[in-house]
Amino acid sequence: MPIKIFLPIMRDLPQTLRAMRATAVMAAIVTTLLCGPVGALLALFSFAALGISFHSFVTFGDRFDAVGGLFAWWVVGFVPAFGYAAFAMPERSGR
């Protein structure tokens, strides 16, 4: 009998996974488009105000190489973009 409790959840699972996938794709697009301009502004601000070099900014103080640092910044930008996409994306209901 406890299986009947989870049946509505399991029935909507494919639609939920599709919605999560679409939200993740939208967040990835937003992050990719904004990573360059926002990253450049942040790097310029950190150089002007804090004296941090561009290379140190991108590589997190030489913790990563340039590609790894850019990927880490992309992931840092993906988290708020995913939140934005979750609230901005209209809910699609098949009902």
Residue 13 to residue 19: CA distance in whole angstroms: 10
Is the pTM higher than 0.85? The answer reads no
Query: What pLDDT is stored for residue 10 in this prediction?
Result: 60
67: pLDDT strictly greater than 70: yes
Is residue 90 within 8 A of residue 40, CB to CB? The reply is: no
| Cα torsion 17, 21, 22, 23: sign | positive
For 1-13, the pLDDT digits (tens) are 455 555 555 666 7
Residue 86: per-residue pLDDT: 86
Residue 64 DSSP symbol: S
Give residues with Cβ within 8 angstroms of 32, minimum separation 6: 74
- Provide the 3-class DSSP secondary structure of residue 34: helix
Give the HSE-up count for residue 6: Cα atoms under 13 Å, Cβ half-sphere: 5
Both structure tokens of 80: 């708020």
